[in-house]
Amino acid sequence: MSQELVLGIYVFIMAIFVGFEVISRVPSVLHTPLMSGTNAIHGIVVLGAMLIAGSANTPLLHALGFIAVVFGAANVFGGFVVTDRMLEMFKKREQGASEKKNA
Amino acid sequence: MLDLRASVIAISYIVAAVLFIFGLKQLSSPATARSGNRLAAVGMLLALLATLVDRQILSYGTIGLGMLIGAAMGIYFARTVQMTAMPQMVALFNGMGGATAALVSVAEFLRLSAAGEAIGVGEATSIVLGTAIGAISFTGSIIAFGKLQEILPGKPLQFPLQRPINGLILLAVVALGVAVVMAGGSALLWALFVAALVVGAMFVLPIGGGDMPVVISILNSLTGLAAALTGFVLHNQMLVVAGVLVGASGTLLTLLMSTAMNRSVANVLFGAFGATSSDAAAQTSVVGRTVKQTTPEDTAIALAYARSVVIVPGYGLAVAEAQHTVRELATDLEKRGVNVKYAIHPVAGRMPGHMNVLLAEANVPYDQLLEMDQVNGEFPQTDVVLVVGANDVVNPAARDDPSSPIYGMPILDVDRARNIIVLKRSMGHGFAGIDNALFYHDKTRMLFGDARQSLTQIGQALKAA
């Protein structure tokens, strides 16, 4: 086993603990935005796709890299934008009440 | 030692990982959630820019074109999608992430093989797992998308010998995986990729629409895991951190959802629920009893003279796109001094938090949305409960009838309220395919018809009352 793999496994395990610690108490109001926000974060694999596409030296690798970049970019940009759109809608009652007064 | 350029990249990745963690932390509170999402987006941008200066990248044409097309597609969908179609949207983006992870794993294997570099057992294992999990998540998400978009039937799809056949394909994936790690060979990896695509489709096809909250959470967590594995392949710790964070959040949601249904994750995945419960439905004791119908006018009067009203939305609200209409009715009632609240069951709808998003779109303040535990104690003091397109989550059989297939599932105790009015398209069964004793209750009145139309009629009658 390489030193790098061992390090990776350490990071993997620590990240599990961080993840559960950070997310464990999310109110159900935010379940959908949490899901779509984390959805955007896993789009980070697009940087792997960029490395493949940028270093491709055969037509096959070019094609694979291209498809992967397109999918990954759609995942990242779409994910963050749609999450932002959703979160924009979540309002507290105070704001809702002041809007009513203004109307 | 790393040179300057590599150091800059490494530091950017570390900062990005920290931003992801902070972003997620902020996503867990409604007040900070929006800035949390933006923080994570900044982290993402930083990571992407840092990657562009990587020495491995020799040409930018393919990257630029792919980015442009992908980003345009993603942003277009994200901007134009209806809030009622959010579950499909999440499934689709999730599938794209899974496909990316699988393709990156395969391509990295091809690149290393072509360059004649030795692939260690650890790397090969990561490649195999990343390919398999990414591919499963891709086709699984696409099938889920198809079911939610109603391109495919929402009912569980079953055929003879389904389990043995699925078992064999899964076995083939495992065998091919072992073969790739032991012997290498790109043909074997491609075969594995294709077999995993089939597994993903087969795994979601037999799952019914009502179980989608669990399925979407699992697929989300699988894509996270696939991304983390890609981190092992590319020796990139930031990918590992980001992927695992997503995996952890998906796992938490999966457990929450299956707890809310009182079913194990395995039961959701392999139970094919709606299909097996039809025998039990015939046994329920409510057969032969009649329901009492009501009119929009009577409903309006009952609501207008109530002190407290609780609205219980379900998937039917999303189907009828009635979230704005229900909100208008609630506003009119509040003007009359009626205390209006919404009761949200954790698995109402087709994804975790589905109802919350819909009602937020209709400008319902989130502190008016009560969770199951908060609201259940209030039902005995509630004058009128208005059930809009919900069924199984308000079925008292889950609490009272040990022979019911949904027995033990925590429900909203609406039958304890003083009056219950149920808006429903017809007497059809809910997702679980079982009869609902609530509809035959003395205190219950049924108002049949499309939810949005019924709500509009109630609203008009209310103005006249």
Whether the per-residue pLDDT at B402 is higher than 90: the answer is: no
* CA Rg value for chain B: 25
Q: Which residue has the tokens 């010998």?
A: B161
Structure tokens, B426:
């017809």
Give tens-digit pLDDT for B304-317. 999 999 999 999 89
B240 interaction partners in chain A (CB closer than 8 Å): 8, 11-12, 15
**Domain assignment present for A37:** yes
| Residue B341 confidence (pLDDT) | 95
Give the length of chain B: 465
> Is the Cβ–Cβ distance between A33 and B34 less than 8 Å?
no
Pick from A29, A53, A89: which is nearest to B361 by CB?
A89
Q: Which residue has the tokens 């979601």?
A: B204
Helix (H, G, I), strand (E, B) or coil at B1: coil
Q: What share of chain A is helix, strand, coil (3-state, %, to 5)?
A: 85, 0, 15
CA distance B355 to B369: 9
Contact yes or no for B70 and A60 at CB 8 A: no
**Domain assignment present for A38:** yes
Task: Give me the amino acid identity at B123.
Answer: E
Contact yes or no for B351 and A32 at CB 8 A: yes
Task: Give Cα separations from A31 to A28, A37, A87, A95, B35 (angstroms).
Answer: 5, 10, 11, 22, 16
Give tens-digit pLDDT for B13-62. 999 999 999 999 999 888 899 999 999 999 999 999 999 999 899 999 99
Whether the per-residue pLDDT at B302 is higher than 50: the answer is: yes
Q: Which residues partner with B448 through β-bridges?
A: B424
Of the CA atoms within 13 Å of residue B15, those in its CB half-sphere come to 17
> Is the Cβ–Cβ distance between B268 and B209 less than 8 Å?
no
**Domain assignment present for A44:** yes
In angstroms, what separates the C-alpha of B27 from chain A's closest C-alpha? 6
Pick from B34, B56, B101: which is nearest to A87 by CB?
B34
CA distance B278 to B300: 36
In angstroms, what separates the C-alpha of B101 from chain A's closest C-alpha? 6
CA distance A60 to B426: 54
- Is the CB of residue A6 less than 8 Å away from at least one CB of chain B? no
* SS3 of A14-65: HHHHHHHHHHCCCCHHHHHHHHHHHHHHHHHHHHHHHHHHHHCCCHHHHHHH
Give tens-digit pLDDT for B246-265. 999 999 999 999 888 888 88
Q: How confident is the model at residue B1 (pLDDT cuts 50, 70, 90)?
A: low
> Is the Cβ–Cβ distance between B307 and B339 less than 8 Å?
yes
Q: How confident is the model at residue B160 (pLDDT cuts 50, 70, 90)?
A: confident
Domains contained in chain A, number: 1
Interface ipTM: 0.90
Whether the per-residue pLDDT at B282 is higher than 60: the answer is: no
Pick from A4, A38, A71: which is nearest to B250 by CB?
A38
| Residue A24 confidence (pLDDT) | 83
- What is the percentage of chain B residues whose pLDDT exceeds 70? 95
> Is the Cβ–Cβ distance between B109 and A77 less than 8 Å?
no
Among the listed ranges A86-100, B225-239, B334-348, B439-453, which one has the minimum average pLDDT value?
A86-100
Chain A residues 29-58 within an 8 A CB cutoff of chain B: 29-58
pLDDT tens for the 103 residues of chain A, in order: 788 889 999 999 999 999 999 988 888 889 999 999 999 999 999 999 999 999 999 999 999 999 999 999 999 999 999 999 999 988 776 544 444 434 3
Question: What angle (nearest 5°) sits at the alpha carbon of residue B204, between those of residues B79 and B154?
Answer: 70
Contact yes or no for B249 and A23 at CB 8 A: yes
**Best to test chain A binding among B220, B238, B245, B372 (most A CBs inside 10 Å):** B245
B74 interaction partners in chain A (CB closer than 8 Å): 73-79, 81
CA distance B148 to B154: 7
**Domain assignment present for A40:** yes
- Is the CB of residue A10 less than 8 Å away from at least one CB of chain B? no
Question: What angle (nearest 5°) sits at the alpha carbon of residue B297, between those of residues B294 and B300?
Answer: 100
Pick from A64, A67, A77: which is nearest to B75 by CB?
A77
Q: How confident is the model at residue B166 (pLDDT cuts 50, 70, 90)?
A: confident
CA distance B311 to B369: 9
| Residue B145 confidence (pLDDT) | 95
| Residue B117 confidence (pLDDT) | 82
**Domain assignment present for A17:** no
**Domain assignment present for A22:** no
**Domain assignment present for A70:** yes
| Residue B288 confidence (pLDDT) | 59
Q: What is the DSSP letter of B431?
A: T
In angstroms, what separates the C-alpha of A102 from chain B's closest C-alpha? 15
**Domain assignment present for A62:** yes
Task: Give Cα separations from B370 to B227, B249, B465 (angstroms).
Answer: 35, 23, 29
Q: Which residues partner with B371 through β-bridges?
A: B344
Give the length of chain A: 103
Contact yes or no for A19 and B79 at CB 8 A: no
Q: How confident is the model at residue B239 (pLDDT cuts 50, 70, 90)?
A: very high
Enter the pTM of the model.
0.88
Q: Which residues partner with B312 through β-bridges?
A: B387
Give the mean pLDDT of chain B: 90
Residues of B labelled catalytic: 392
What mean pLDDT is predicted for residues B282-305? 78
Q: How far is CA B276 from the centre of its chain?
A: 23
Task: Give me the amino acid identity at A7.
Answer: L
Q: How many CB atoms lie within 10 A of CB B442?
A: 6
**Residue B308 exposed, middle or buried by CB count within 10 Å (0-12, 13-18, 19+):** middle
Helix (H, G, I), strand (E, B) or coil at B398: helix
CA distance B31 to B375: 22
Q: What's the order of all strands across the beta sheet hosting B384-388?
A: B369-371, B339-344, B308-313, B384-388, B419-424, B444-448
CA distance B38 to B43: 9
| Residue B276 confidence (pLDDT) | 42
Q: Which residues partner with B422 through β-bridges?
A: B387, B446
Give tens-digit pLDDT for B419-459. 999 998 877 766 666 788 899 998 999 999 999 999 999 99
Whether the per-residue pLDDT at B281 is higher than 60: the answer is: no
Domain assignment of residue A87, given as a range: 29-102
Q: What is the DSSP letter of A54?
A: H
Q: How confident is the model at residue B268 (pLDDT cuts 50, 70, 90)?
A: confident
